[in-house]
Structures are given as structure tokens and as C-alpha cells.
């Protein structure tokens, strides 16, 4: 690692100050106010928090360090199509605010899973909260380990020094300061996250040559690919997969997840909680936009020298691209790399502190208190608050242990992310079953939840193990060869584009001559027509693109090339042609006829296997876009819940309270009752009758009847 790539004293100072400020905020709320003597203050802040602070905290806990590193890498490799996920945020916000939130806020329950006991049974509550805890315990170690691993490989920052220091700071201010410390430090850490991304983007745009140059390079290589409207569910990312699939992921996090529900209960009223949810939406989308812009700028900078393909030291995974990009453009600016590192680890701090606080609440309310009540033990509020603090400190150290396990088990990174996506759909379906209908019984809900969870794990891990791998957009390494050392004498200035044209021309000529020489000595005449293969670089699906998509991709590249100057267009075309030819040479078939025949047989077997896979519905599910997984398990949960409840095996004989059904459903019922007969059927002119299910405890209808 070069000295230019090492962190300076000022970088460590800026990073250290961010940790010190977070610790001071946590200890401040430990020694002030009510001093966290009750669980209502420690876990719910006495419902006295500011709406704006809660809104920013909702975003900070949702956007982790993995997001800050992963989204720019996603844009770098697959283009701006991922930005469509923000449409799901816009649609999902009112669903969470008006369907789920009123039920939780009116219950005033510290744990969101207490609703499941009131609506179904203690067993349903236990399995749901246990699933949530398993999900969070595994994931929070990854949130802390992944950025440390990526940054240490590029910047020289000690991996375990970063993990231990960040983990201890998070444990201290979260364990002693409670939810108030978590919310206010989230505000500080969110500012660092925005500053880090904006600084990298602005400096990167200046290094590339301006906004127009960044745009031209992105358009030329197909990175502005937001016109992907293919309805095929096997397309990894498209408008439909990101919009409709993202709605279920967003609602599973903002609607029924303990970390977000607990934050929304820290404000004074339901109206303020709904306002906080709506404010969090544009803040989240703005940070997502910053990540997307950073990814586009990063691609424009590495357009002709992809660090992974070039085999740069320490760069082996996409999540290391952003730290490498940062150190290349800001390594000589003391303090700025430290600001970037502080911003990335702020994403880890905000997420881990949210997980620790919510895990403490769930452990106390869903597991410890029921045991104490059964044994008839009573304790004071102060003692209960101290027990909660000890539980929070315990989970803080569990986070450090999980980071160590992540170091030992290499496959846990991908597995934990799969778990995080698989669990959300069944949990969302379980809460929706309870809030939509009174017919679903506790046994039916429990069976439906377990079955949908198992199906989700089967599809999720099956797609990881047996599913096809995504294919990146085209990348190049034509300017990484360093064959020509350009030195400009005084009075002999050579423009960059002319140098690029000349170097690419010489590279193309040398490539063609070497390939011709090798083919004349080792390739038979019968196979000479197949010796040069130009690879089609782009496909948004999991499988290689068709000829139609390749033609459209090439045509769009020609159109985008026309936006540049003639010299720029010529140099880009020459470099692209030479790169494709050399890639084709490296992937050309063998010279031996027997070997060529065996490869053709293998290709035929592969095609036959792909045909069998397409015909087999089980393997087709492995091709399904991962964005649809939460939605698929959600609908499986609803279907099985209604199916089992409608049978005579699991009828619902439990009397329900009115506040256990979403107010949205009661309003929907009243809307249709305006045009109904006394027998409960609609009096439509076309003769279609809709049976209106009367929701339990709807006192407004009974009061109106009594008054009449």
C-alpha cells in the first residue's frame, strides 16, 4: 500500500472525534432529565421527542453502512435502475402511517409483538419475537463487520481496532443513555453520512471534469438505464420489481419492525407519529439519491480502469470500490478521508444502536416479564430499568462476538442478508392477518407463519446456492496497462484525447497482430472463423441477454457517443473494440477439433439443462428476483391463514377488542355500508352481492343505531 493511500493523523482525529461526540451525547442523557430511571423513559423517551429528530432517526436506522457501501457499488455495476426503489418508499409510507401505525400507537405497548398475543395467542407472540431477535442478532454483527472489512483492505485502517472501538462506543451510549441518546446521536450520525457522500461526489465530479462529463460517460456505457420496464419477474432489477417488491420490504421495516415502531411511539400523539413517518420518506429518498449519484461519479472515474478487473491490490469485492475511490481522490487531503470513514461507521452506529435498544425492549417485554408474572414476582420501576440497561449492554457485547464469528465464517455475509430479506415477508403477513380480519385463528396464524417462513428460507437460500448469478454492465481495463509513460516536454502539450486515441490505436494494432500470429500457429483453418469472439457485455437479467437487447444496447451506445466530441467518440470506440477483441481472444475455443467438439457437447448439455430448469417450476423460483421474495412469502402467509381459518379444524372462537383491527378496515366497511340493505348485502344493479364482514367491537355503528 502506498504512503498516499495511508490515513494521516487528521483522519484518525476526525474519526475519533465522531466517536467521542456520540459517547458524550449518550452520557449526557444518562445524567440529565429523569436519568433513565423508568423503562418508559429509557425505551420510549416519555413520548416527548421532537418530530424532526424521530424522522431523521427513522432514516438512519434504515440506511446502514452496508447500504452506504452497497448502493454505490450497485449503481457502478448495474446502473441507475435501482433508483426506482424510491417509488416504493412513496407508496409504502401512507400504508404504514394509516394502516399499521394507529393500531400500535393506540395499544401503547413497548413491544410491537404484544399485539400478537392480544390478537392471537402467547405462542404466536413468542415465535414472532424469537424470529425477530434471531434476525437482528445475526445482522447487527454483519453491519459492524462489513464496513470495517471493506475499509481496512483499502485505507490501512486496523479492522479490529475499528470494530472494537465502534462497538464499545455504541454499547456505552446506547446502554446508559437509552432511546433519547440513540435518537440524538442518530441526528449527528446522519449529518456525517450526508457530508461523507456529498464530499466524495463533489470532489469526484471535479476530478472527472464536471457534471456534463460524468453524465456523458454514464450515458455512453448504459448506466442511465432507468427505462427498464420488463415485467418478467426473473429480471433482477426493473421498475416493477423495485416498485412492487420494494413496497413489501419497506412495509416490513417501517410498518411492523420493532426498531421503527418503537421510534414512532416516542412522540406525543398519533398525528405527530404519522407526520414523522411522512418526513422520513423524503429524507430517506434523498440519501438514496446521494448514494446513486456517488455510484455514477465513481463509474465515470473508473470508466476505463475497473479496479476489480485490473486486480488492484486489496480490491476483490464491489463493497470495496467506494473506499478505494475515496482514497484515490481524497487521500492527499488531510481530514477528508477521516470524515468519510466517520460517515460510513455512523451508518453502522445508527443501525446497531437501534438493534440493541429494540432487542432489549423485546427481551424484557416478550420473554422476561411473562416469566416473572407467572412466578408472581414484583419489582419496582427503577429495578426494571436497570435490568433493561443490563440487557442492552449484553446485546452490545453480543454484537462484538457476532463480528468475530463473521470473520471466521465467510459465508455468513450472504446468508445473513438472505435471512434479513426472508423474515420480513412472513412477519408482515402475520400482522396483516390480525389487523385485516377477525376470522383468522391463532392456530391458523401460527401454522401459516411457520410454513411461509420455511418456504422463504428454501427459496432464499436455494437462489443463493443454485440460482443464476447477476451479470454486470460492461467494464473496461484499457487504461490500466500502463504501457506508455506519457511525458510532456515544455511547449509540446498533447491533449488527453489525442493520447488516448494514439495509445488505443497502438494497443489495437498490437492486439490484432498478436492474435493473428497465435491463430496462424495454433488454430486450424476450420476453426479460424470462431477465433475472435466479441462478448455482449450487458444483461439486466440473471442470464445472458438476447440478441435484441444487445442490439438495443449497442445502438444506445452509438447514440450516446454522438454526444461527445469526435476525438472523444473515436477514442472510446477504439478502446471498446480493442477491449472486446482481447476479451474474445481470451475466451476463444480451443484449437483442437476434439476439444472443440467436447465443448459443443457441454454447451448442448447446458442448454438442455437450462430448458429443464425453465420447465421445472421449482427451479424457476430460484430465478425469481430477490425483490419479490418478501411479497411472495407475504401472500403465502395470507392465503394459508385464510385457508386454515375457513376449515373446521381451526375456527376462531376468541372475542376480539375493537382496537386490534386496523381503523382503516372499519372506515372501508362504513364506506360500503352506505349502499347496503339491512341483510348485509350490497344492492347493486348488476346483481352482484358482496358479503360485508362486520369487524368486532365497532362501537360507532352500534351507537348510531341506538340513537336512532
DSSP-assigned letters across all residues of 368-403:
IHHHHHHHT----HHHHHHHHHHHHHHHHHHHHHHH
- Does residue 116 contact residue 125 with C-beta atoms inside 8 Å? yes
Neighbouring residues of 364: CB distance < 8 A, sequence distance ≥ 6: 39, 110, 384, 387, 388, 391
Residue in this structure with the C-alpha cell 449526557, named with its chain if needed:
28
pLDDT at 478: 85
pLDDT at 528: 35
Neighbouring residues of 470: CB distance < 8 A, sequence distance ≥ 6: 78, 236, 542
pLDDT at 225: 93
Q: Domain span at residue 70?
A: 3-402
**Buried-state track 270-284, b at ≥16 Cβ within 10 A, e below 16:** bebbbbbbebbbbbb
Query: What sign has the CA pseudo-torsion 336, 337, 342, 348?
Result: positive
Residue 676's SS3 state is strand
Q: Which residues pair with 541 in a beta bridge?
A: 235
pLDDT at 660: 84
3-state secondary structure 529-573: HHCCCCCCCCCCECCCCCHHHHHHHHHHHHHHHCCCCHHHHHHHH
CATH for 237: 1.20.1730.10
Angle between helices 85-95 and 270-301 (to 10 degrees): 170
pLDDT at 92: 96
**128 is a domain residue:** yes
- Does residue 573 contact residue 502 with C-beta atoms inside 8 Å? no
Of 143, 605, 110, which Cα lies nearest the Cα of 353? 143
Domain end marker among 402, 423, 439: 402
**50 is a domain residue:** yes
C-alpha cell at 16: 475519533
Domain count, the chain: 2
Helix extents (H) in 96-158 = 101-107, 114-119, 122-155
Domain end marker among 372, 402, 432: 402
**229 is a domain residue:** yes
3-state secondary structure 489-515: CCCCCCCHHHHHHHHHHHHHHHHHHHH
pLDDT at 576: 52
**675 is a domain residue:** yes
Domain end marker among 387, 402, 417: 402
Query: What sign has the CA pseudo-torsion 459, 464, 467, 468?
Result: positive
Dist CA 371 CA 367 (whole Å):
7
Residue in this structure with the C-alpha cell 511525458, named with its chain if needed:
487
**111 is a domain residue:** yes
Neighbouring residues of 97: CB distance < 8 A, sequence distance ≥ 6: 273, 274, 277, 278
Dist CA 511 CA 320 (whole Å):
31
**276 is a domain residue:** yes
pLDDT at 481: 62
C-alpha cell at 297: 461519479
pLDDT at 421: 75
pLDDT at 551: 40
pLDDT at 275: 97
Of 368, 34, 56, which Cα lies nearest the Cα of 178? 34
- Does residue 627 contact residue 418 with C-beta atoms inside 8 Å? no
- Does residue 81 contact residue 237 with C-beta atoms inside 8 Å? yes
**Buried-state track 6-45, b at ≥16 Cβ within 10 A, e below 16:** ebbeebbebbeebbebbbebbeebbeeebebebbebbbbb
C-alpha cell at 105: 400507537
**541 is a domain residue:** no
Q: Average pLDDT by consecutive 10-residue portion of the chain (708 residues)? A: 68 94 89 82 93 96 89 94 96 96 92 94 95 91 88 85 92 92 95 96 96 96 93 92 94 95 95 97 96 96 92 83 93 92 94 94 94 85 90 94 77 61 92 90 93 92 82 86 37 38 39 38 37 36 40 40 41 49 43 42 41 53 88 94 78 72 72 54 38 40 42
**92 is a domain residue:** yes
C-alpha cell at 336: 477528508
Amino acid at each position: 500500500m502506498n504512503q498516499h493511500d495511508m490515513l494521516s493523523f487528521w483522519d484518525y482525529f476526525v474519526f475519533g472525534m465522531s466517536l467521542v461526540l456520540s459517547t458524550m451525547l449518550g452520557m449526557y442523557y444518562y445524567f440529565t432529565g429523569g436519568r433513565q430511571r423508568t423503562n418508559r423513559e429509557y425505551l420510549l423517551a416519555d413520548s416527548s421527542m421532537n418530530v424532526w429528530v424521530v424522522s431523521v432517526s427513522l432514516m438512519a436506522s434504515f440506511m446502514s453502512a452496508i447500504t452506504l457501501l452497497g448502493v454505490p457499488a450497485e449503481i457502478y455495476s448495474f446502473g441507475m435502475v435501482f433508483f426506482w426503489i424510491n417509488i416504493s418508499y412513496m407508496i409504502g409510507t401512507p400504508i404504514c402511517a394509516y394502516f399499521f401505525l394507529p393500531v400500535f400507537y393506540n395499544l401503547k405497548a413497548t413491544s410491537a409483538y404484544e399485539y400478537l398475543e392480544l390478537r392471537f395467542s402467547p405462542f404466536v407472540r413468542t415465535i414472532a419475537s424469537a424470529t425477530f431477535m434471531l434476525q437482528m442478532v445475526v445482522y447487527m454483527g454483519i453491519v459492524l463487520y462489513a464496513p470495517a472489512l471493506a475499509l481496512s483492505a483499502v485505507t490501512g485502517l486496523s479492522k479490529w481496532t475499528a470494530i472494537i472501538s465502534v462497538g464499545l462506543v455504541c454499547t456505552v451510549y446506547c446502554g446508559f443513555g437509552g432511546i433519547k441518546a440513540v435518537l440524538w446521536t442518530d441526528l449527528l450520525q446522519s449529518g456525517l453520512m450526508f457530508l461523507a457522500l456529498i464530499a466524495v461526489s463533489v470532489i469526484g465530479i471535479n476530478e472527472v471534469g464536471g457534471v456534463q462529463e460524468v453524465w456523458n460517460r454514464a450515458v455512453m456505457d448504459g448506466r442511465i438505464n432507468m427505462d427498464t420496464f420488463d415485467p418478467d419477474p426473473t429480471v433482477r432489477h426493473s421498475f416493477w420489481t423495485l416498485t412492487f417488491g420494494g413496497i413489501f420490504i419497506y412495509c416490513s421495516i417501517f410498518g411492523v419492525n420493532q426498531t421503527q415502531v418503537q421510534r414512532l411511539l416516542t412522540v406525543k400523539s398519533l398525528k405527530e407519529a404519522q407526520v414523522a413517518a411522512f418526513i422520513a420518506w423524503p429524507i430517506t429518498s434523498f440519501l438514496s439519491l446521494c448514494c446513486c449519484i456517488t455510484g455514477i461519479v465513481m463509474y465515470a472515474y473508473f470508466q476505463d480502469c475497473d479496479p476489480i478487473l485490473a486486480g488492484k491490490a486489496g480490491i476483490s469485492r464491489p463493497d470495496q470500490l467506494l473506499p478505494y475511490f475515496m482514497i484515490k481522490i481524497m487521500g492527499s487531503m488531510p481530514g477528508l478521508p477521516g470524515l468519510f470513514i466517520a460517515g460510513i461507521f455512523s451508518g453502522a452506529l445508527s443501525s446497531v444502536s437501534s438493534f440493541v435498544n429494540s432487542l432489549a425492549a423485546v427481551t424484557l417485554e416478550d420473554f422476561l416479564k411473562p416469566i416473572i408474572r407467572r412466578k408472581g414476582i414484583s419489582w419496582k420501576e427503577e429495578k426494571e430499568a436497570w435490568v433493561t440497561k443490563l440487557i442492552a449492554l449484553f446485546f452490545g457485547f453480543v454484537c462484538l462476538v457476532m463480528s468475530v464469528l463473521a470473520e471466521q465464517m465467510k459465508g455468513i455475509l450472504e446468508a445473513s442478508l438472505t435471512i434479513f430479506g426472508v423474515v420480513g415477508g412472513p412477519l408482515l403477513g402475520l400482522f396483516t392477518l390480525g389487523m385485516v380480519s377477525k376470522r383468522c385463528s391463532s392456530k391458523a396464524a401460527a401454522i401459516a407463519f411457520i410454513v411461509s417462513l420455511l418456504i422463504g428460507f428454501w427459496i432464499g437460500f436455494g437462489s443463493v446456492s443454485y440460482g443464476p448469478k447477476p451479470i454486470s454492465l460492461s467494464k473496461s481495463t484499457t487504461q490500466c496497462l500502463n504501457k506508455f509513460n506519457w511525458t510532456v516536454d515544455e511547449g509540446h502539450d498533447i491533449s488527453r484525447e489525442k493520447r488516448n486515441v494514439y495509445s488505443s490505436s497502438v494497443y489495437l494494432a498490437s492486439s490484432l497482430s498478436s492474435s493473428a500470429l497465435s491463430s496462424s500457429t495454433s488454430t486450424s483453418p476450420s476453426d479460424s472463423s470462431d477465433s475472435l469472439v466479441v462478448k455482449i457485455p450487458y444483461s439486466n437479467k440473471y442470464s445472458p441477454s438476447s440478441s435484441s437487447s444487445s442490439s438495443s444496447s449497442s445502438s444506445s451506445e452509438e447514440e450516446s457517443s454522438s454526444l461527445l466530441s469526435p476525438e472523444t467518440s473515436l477514442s472510446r470506440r477504439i478502446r471498446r473494440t480493442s477491449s472486446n477483441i482481447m476479451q474474445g481472444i481470451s475466451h476463444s475455443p480451443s484449437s483442437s477439433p476434439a476439444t472443440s467438439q467436447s465443448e459443443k457437447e457441454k454447451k448442448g448439455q447446458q442448454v438442455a439443462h437450462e430448458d429443464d430448469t425453465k420447465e421445472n417450476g421449482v427451479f424457476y423460483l430460484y430465478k425469481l428476483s430477490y425483490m419479490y421474495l418478501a411479497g411472495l412469502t407475504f401472500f403465502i402467509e395470507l392465503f394459508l391463514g385464510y385457508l386454515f381459518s375457513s376449515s373446521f379444524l381451526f375456527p376462531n372462537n376468541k372475542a376480539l377488542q375493537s382496537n386490534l383491527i386496523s381503523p382503516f378496515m372499519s372506515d372501508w366497511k362504513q364506506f360500503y355500508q352506505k349502499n347496503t340493505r339491512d341483510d348485509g348485502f350490497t344492492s347493486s344493479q348488476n346483481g352482484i352481492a358482496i358479503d360485508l364482514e362486520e369487524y368486532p367491537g365497532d362501537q360507532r355503528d352500534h351507537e348510531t343505531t341506538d340513537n336512532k
